Structure 1
Amino acid sequence: MSKKFISNLFHQGGSQESIFEATWPALSPGKDHLSSLPGLKEAETKMLKEAREKAFLIEKEAYEKGFEQGEKDGRELGQKRQEVVIQQMRNVLLEIERQRKDFRQVYENEVLTLLLGIGKRIFRQEVLVCEGLITTVLQEALQYVTDRGRVIVRLHPGDYQNLLAHPGQIPFSLDEKDGIKMVEDPSITRGGCLLETSFGDVDATFEGQFDEIVSQIRQQMKGAERDPGR
Structure 2
Amino acid sequence: MFRLSKVIKATNLVVTLPRLIEWEQKCGEKEKRGPELEIPDPEAFNAEAAEAIIAETEEMVHQLLNEARVQAEKIISDAKAEAQAILREAREKIDGLKKEAEKTGYEAGFTAGRQALAEEWEKFNAFKESERAALEEERRRLIQQAEPELIQLAVNIARQIIHAELKLAPDQIASIARATLAKALADGDVTLKVHSSDYEYIGDLLEKNGQNRAVVRVEIDNSIENGGCLAETPYGVVDGTVEGQLQAALSDLLEVSQGG
Relative CO higher for 1 or 2, CA cutoff 8 Å, sep ≥ 6?
1
**TM-score by structure 2 length?**
0.42
**TM-score by structure 1 length?**
0.46
Q: Which has the higher helix share?
A: 2
